[in-house]
Chains A and B, each alone.
Chain A
Amino acid sequence: MLIGAIAILLTLPATTGAHRLDEYLQATRLSLALKRIVVEIDLTPGVDVAPMIFALINTDHDGRISEAEGRAYASQFLKEIVLEVDGQGQRLALVSSQFPSFLEMSAGLGTIRIEARAVWAGAPGRHSLFYQNNYRPDLCAYLVNALLPASREIEITEQHRDPLQRGIRLAFNVKGSSP
């Protein structure tokens, strides 16, 4: 079967390309394990907000995000994250952060990636988790999801989000005590 290439003259009607321009998409994935909770967040600024976000990070205004600037921004960001297990606040420690260039961000194609972890001892029984992202609600769009736990000892039984997905509540069971 096949194939020839033909040149065709086309007239297009007006079309709309709907790029996210003035929102800062923040997509979070939560991984529950018996000894830790991992939070991975992808932050993608739209074209219109990218210069402002870049300026917030690039504090020495040299046009490049240094390792120290990236770490400082990621740490500041994590202060706006609420993570609780069974009503107790959990401290999130920054594990890694990656930053795109200004050119990528200004095209709306650059994603900042932040990974953080909380140490948590998964005692057998029923538990609840609450996560909320309070960073710049004036310009953010949100996604938050729980990954299927890798350990068969953990079973997520319920999940509820607010209408904007800024936050999520999980109910889960820890079946056993093995690590």
Chain B
Amino acid sequence: MKIRHYGALLVLLALPLAASSTQRITASAPAASDATIKAVAAAKVFLATLDDRQRANARLELNKKTRSNWSNLPTGAVFQNGATERNGVKLGDMTAAQQEAALALVSATLSRAGYQKVMNIVNADEMLERSSAPARPAGNRTRFGRAEYYVSILGTPSATEPWMIQFGGHHLALNITVVGAKNVLTPSHTGAQPATFTFNGQTVRPLGNENDKAFALVNALNADQRKQAILDYQVTDVVLGPGHDGEVIQPEGVRVSSFSAGQRAMLLDLMSEWVRILNDHDSEAKMAEIRANLADTYFAWSGPTTNGSRAYFRIQGPTAMIEYAPQGSGTDHIHTFYRDPTNDYGAKLIKP
């Protein structure tokens, strides 16, 4: 397989620091949590910074069609759902104050570490834009970079009624459904290209923990477990990316019921890299749910087990499905997806 190489370059980067298809969706919800109250307040502040035209674009009805409009693909591509543009207003069309309010909204819904991971992904994409733009053919509409990340609010920010925040661009899709006291992060997408870069003198690996913890886990399995976990065929990409809402595949790999306490702890720590992107209150509840279902969870691996190699892995349980897939033949372009077959877009909390 051939791959494309990007060269070295100088980048000026702004980094914020901080921690029925159209049927309306309704719910009755318990009282709001602090996380919800913060999200509602931040959403109102963000909307207040926008002019009328921007506000009309940023706020959409919450329905099946709008909520499923997300992708791993960059601006300029036709997304898996057929759309040609993300919902909302992009950072590049906002003033500095509007951008700050937009990112404050994102920050309000996430953990400190989760927000930093998200910003690392955005920064990686900014570097990709800087490296790829000079060689981009005329007429090619593909755009990467920080300016191409969109913020939208689906529904009306509320402490009781369901609504959503979407923040996404190339290699990032945060779909945060807020239903009263509960915030839900699934489905979501994280990715990175480059997967390793230098920022302000520091080496940054947006998905480095995911990679390293997975390799540590597969190498902590005993011979029998490895025989079950390591698939005897190659997996070149994710299975349930964008456009596959509602699909569940037949599980494979080693069942976690065979894991020791130490192995279970390693798996939970690995899964927390996705779950704990969300604010601490809601991610703690989600981790408890995953822990309760751990025995019925499967871990599958395809590829070598030496860290630094190209390898795919999947964690599939009753309430969480995670896929990690390097793209192409190398390890510098990664896609991951995090789903909950029972609660994507807050399905368990919302009455159809």
Contact = CB atoms under 8 A, between A and B. Distances in A.
Interface in B267-314: none
A17 B250 contact: no
Given A18-B330, A21-B2, A23-B1, A1 B13 contact: no
Interface string A10-24: 111111111111110
A104 B77 contact: yes
Given A4-B16, A18-B3, A18-B328, A10 B10 contact: yes
Instruction: Pick from B78, B140, B196 the residue with the most CB of A within 10 Å.
Output: B78
Contacts of A4: 16-17, 100
Interface stretch (B52-60, B234-242, B342-350): B234-242
B301 to A, nearest CB: 14
B236 A141 contact: yes
A143 B127 CA distance: 30
A14 B1 contact: no
Nearest to A101: B78
Interface in B4-27: 4-19
A143 to B, nearest CB: 6
Interface residues of B, number: 70
B187 to A, nearest CB: 16
B132 interface: yes
B141 interface: yes
Contact of B15 (A8, A19, A23): A8
B332 interface: yes
Contacts of B100: 2-5
Interface stretch (A116-124, A130-138, A154-162): A154-162
Contacts of A3: 16-18, 100, 103-104, 107
A146 B250 contact: yes
Given A14-B5, A107-B142, A146-B249, A164 B332 contact: no
Contacts of B127: 10, 12, 15
Given A3-B17, A29-B247, A143-B236, A9 B332 contact: no
Given A4-B16, A5-B15, A143-B236, A14 B8 contact: yes
A25 B237 contact: yes
Given A17-B193, A18-B326, A7 B14 contact: yes
A165 B233 contact: yes
B211 interface: no
B200 interface: yes
B344 to A, nearest CB: 15
Contacts, number: 191
A107 B248 contact: no
Contact of B198 (A5, A12, A48, A146): A12
Contact of B239 (A16, A141, A145, A163): A145
Given A17-B193, A148-B249, A164 B1 contact: no
B302 to A, nearest CB: 10
B266 interface: no
Contact of A20 (B8, B18, B141, B327): B327
Interface of A: 1-23, 25, 27, 29, 47-48, 98, 100-101, 103-104, 107, 109-111, 141-143, 145-148, 156, 159, 161-165
9 contacts: A2-B17, A8-B12, A11-B8, A16-B333, A17-B194, A18-B328, A109-B76, A162-B233, A163-B232
8 closest A-B pairs (Cβ-Cβ)? A18-B328, A15-B194, A109-B77, A18-B330, A3-B18, A2-B18, A148-B248, A161-B233
Interface of B: 1-19, 73-74, 76-78, 80, 82, 96, 99-100, 103-104, 107, 112, 127-128, 130-132, 139-142, 193-194, 196-200, 231-237, 239, 247-250, 252, 326-333
Given A15-B127, A165-B236, 19 more contacts: A3-B103, A4-B100, A8-B13, A11-B8, A13-B8, A13-B197, A15-B197, A17-B193, A18-B332, A20-B236, A21-B4, A21-B328, A29-B249, A47-B4, A107-B142, A109-B73, A141-B236, A161-B231, A163-B234
